[in-house]
């Protein structure tokens, strides 16, 4: 090990030499700052926290444009240096944590919105989602979807690591046709090449965790800007709140942008809502177009609920309240973790979003340490839902038992406590991703250690790996 220059202690590279080769690119070498930029939100999981908290990079480069990014990749290639792309670092599974140390390429200086047209926006990979939405407003448009972390998450990180978010209940998941329009990505070679992926081909790179190309710019779908009303409705019973959410999600003409159902016990961890929503109630969190508010109220009331908050943007700001989407998606977990670090969560598919009875039955078997929270979305046009429950962590064994209860009820578990790409959302090896890894990163330097299947295929030609995808 090169003890003098390695912060990670996980490789023998001479980081002084590598830093010198990157002269002209903004670099961060201060160990405290390098360590800070080596983390993401893996600490949501006690298991990942144990495994990843001592993994750090050695050097951070902050390229200003695609040419500088290409230089970073060429230098990493020349030195056989492991490298990790990093946007806002809001991933949940250690997606941007360098397992083998190495170069962290922070994209946040590549943040220009390059082109706005009707129905699309093209932005550099490091542009923040919130900044893109702000830039779109002048053209009367907004992003079809964005993660609840929009203030710090980048478009490149969303496409490489995310899957959907606010807007998915109206427009589907990011992978659904028309949402991700194109992207460009650089290979890791002596002379990095820029590849463009259009339409469905962009899925070769989408959700591959930066294993198979460094995204330089992304084109995504935009939709006409609407006046959104952020709503929170309260219910006496979780399944009533869920049924109202399902009815609203199914009402395509209504066009809600967000529908989340939150167990009353989780709502108790939302101090900023105190005095605004009924204490002890199960909650339905929604974003509805202004003209649909009466319809939403009618559906909520028909299910036995009441709308406690219904605010447009100026009224929300005047009331000093956060966006309602800060009580949805993984922000729900964050609100609880702010008060108590013994909480964690899981990602659970719901086999039939319409089956409220199945939600109640699994809840009854789960026990008091699991508090449900459902998000509605569309996949391939159909309404789907998934559960992101709060789990009070006792032991790895109890977590495994909770997973087993969900699975026994037919609810698939997309494990949020695994740091391999095959462990969570993908579940299986994605050989199409790996074929492109072979083409884009033949030395296997990108986000090394994050794919369990890569070591088994790395010596095969890309076309053969691709054939394995067709057999799958």
Ligand X SMILES: Cc1cc2nc3c(=O)[nH]c(=O)nc-3n(C[C@H](O)[C@H](O)[C@H](O)COP(=O)(O)OP(=O)(O)OC[C@H]3O[C@@H](n4cnc5c(N)ncnc54)[C@H](O)[C@@H]3O)c2cc1C
The residues binding ligand X (CB under 6 A) are 40-41, 84-92, 95-96, 107, 125, 147-149, 153-154, 156-158, 160-165, 209-210, 214-215, 329-331, 334, 447
Q: Which is nearer to ligand X, 96 or 141 (CB)?
A: 96
For residues 20, 26, 32, 34, the Cα torsion angle rounded to the nearest 10 degrees is -80
Question: What 3-state DSSP class applies to 203?
Answer: helix
Q: Closest CB to ligand X belongs to which residue?
A: 157
Least separation in angstroms between residue 217's CB and ligand X is 9
User: How many other C-beta atoms can be found within 10 angstroms of the C-beta atom of residue 194?
Assistant: 15
Least separation in angstroms between residue 367's CB and ligand X is 25
Q: Which is nearer to ligand X, 132 or 399 (CB)?
A: 132
**Distance in angstroms (rounded) separating the CA atoms of residues 75 and 86:** 17
**Distance in angstroms (rounded) separating the CA atoms of residues 61 and 367:** 47
**Distance in angstroms (rounded) separating the CA atoms of residues 435 and 453:** 11
Least separation in angstroms between residue 64's CB and ligand X is 14
For residues 123, 124, 127, 129, the Cα torsion angle rounded to the nearest 10 degrees is 40
Q: Which is nearer to ligand X, 245 or 305 (CB)?
A: 245
Least separation in angstroms between residue 208's CB and ligand X is 8
Least separation in angstroms between residue 206's CB and ligand X is 10
Helix (H) or strand (E) holding 463: helix 462-471
**Which residue's structure tokens are 């490149």?**
156
Least separation in angstroms between residue 362's CB and ligand X is 23
Least separation in angstroms between residue 278's CB and ligand X is 25
Q: Which is nearer to ligand X, 210 or 305 (CB)?
A: 210
Angle at which helices 462-471 and 431-440 cross, to 10°: 170
Residue 413 CB-half CA count within 13 A: 19
Q: Which is nearer to ligand X, 107 or 372 (CB)?
A: 107
Q: Which is nearer to ligand X, 174 or 465 (CB)?
A: 174
**Distance in angstroms (rounded) separating the CA atoms of residues 373 and 333:** 9
Q: Which is nearer to ligand X, 113 or 358 (CB)?
A: 113
**Distance in angstroms (rounded) separating the CA atoms of residues 89 and 151:** 12
> Residue 251 in contact with residue 299, Cβ under 8 Å?
yes
Least separation in angstroms between residue 408's CB and ligand X is 27
Q: Which is nearer to ligand X, 129 or 457 (CB)?
A: 129
> Residue 188 in contact with residue 203, Cβ under 8 Å?
no
């Amino acid at each position: 090990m090169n003890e003098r220059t390695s912060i990670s202690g996980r490789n023998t590279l001479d980081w002084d030499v590598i830093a010198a080769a990157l002269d002209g690119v903004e670099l961060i070498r201060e160990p405290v700052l390098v360590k800070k930029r080596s983390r993401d939100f893996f600490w949501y999981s006690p298991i990942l926290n144990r495994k990843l908290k001592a993994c750090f990079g050695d050097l951070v480069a902050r390229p200003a444009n695609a040419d500088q990014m290409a230089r970073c990749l060429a230098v990493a290639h020349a030195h056989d240096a492991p490298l990790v792309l990093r946007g806002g670092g809001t991933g949940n599974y250690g997606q941007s944590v360098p397992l083998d140390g190495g170069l962290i390429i922070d994209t946040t200086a590549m943040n220009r919105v390059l082109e706005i047209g009707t129905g699309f926006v093209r932005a550099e990979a490091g542009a923040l989602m919130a900044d893109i939405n702000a830039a779109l407003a002048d053209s009367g448009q907004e992003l079809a979807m964005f993660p609840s972390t929009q203030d710090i998450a980048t478009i490149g990180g969303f496409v490489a690591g995310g899957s959907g978010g606010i807007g998915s209940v109206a427009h589907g998941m990011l992978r659904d046709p028309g949402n991700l329009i194109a992207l460009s990505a650089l290979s890791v070679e002596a002379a990095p090449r820029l590849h463009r992926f259009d339409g469905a081909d962009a899925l070769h790179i989408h959700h591959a965790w930066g294993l198979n190309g460094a995204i330089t710019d992304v084109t995504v779908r935009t939709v006409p800007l609407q006046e959104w009303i952020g709503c929170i409705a309260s219910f006496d019973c979780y399944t009533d709140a869920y049924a109202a959410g399902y009815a609203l999600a199914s009402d395509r003409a209504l066009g809600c942008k967000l529908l989340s159902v939150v167990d009353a016990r989780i709502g108790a961890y939302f101090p900023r809502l105190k005095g605004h929503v009924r204490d002890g109630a199960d909650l339905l969190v929604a974003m509805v177009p202004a003209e649909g508010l009466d319809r939403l109220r009618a559906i909520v009331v028909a299910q036995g609920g009441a709308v406690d908050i219904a605010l447009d943007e100026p009224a929300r700001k005047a009331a000093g309240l956060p966006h309602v989407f800060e009580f949805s998606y993984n922000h729900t977990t964050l609100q609880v973790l702010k008060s108590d670090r013994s909480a964690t969560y899981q990602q659970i598919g719901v086999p039939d979003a319409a089956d409220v009875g199945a939600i109640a039955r699994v809840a009854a078997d789960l026990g008091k340490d699991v508090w449900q929270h459902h998000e509605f979305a569309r996949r391939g046009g159909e309404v789907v839902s998934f559960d992101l429950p709060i789990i009070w962590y006792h032991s790895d064994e109890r977590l495994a038992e909770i997973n087993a209860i969900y699975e026994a009820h037919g609810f698939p578990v997309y494990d949020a406590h695994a740091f391999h790409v095959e462990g969570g959302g993908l579940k299986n090896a994605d050989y199409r991703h790996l074929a492109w890894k072979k083409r884009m990163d033949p030395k296997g330097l990108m986000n090394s250690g994050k794919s369990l299947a890569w070591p088994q295929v790395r010596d095969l030609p890309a076309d053969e790996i691709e054939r394995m995808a067709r057999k799958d």
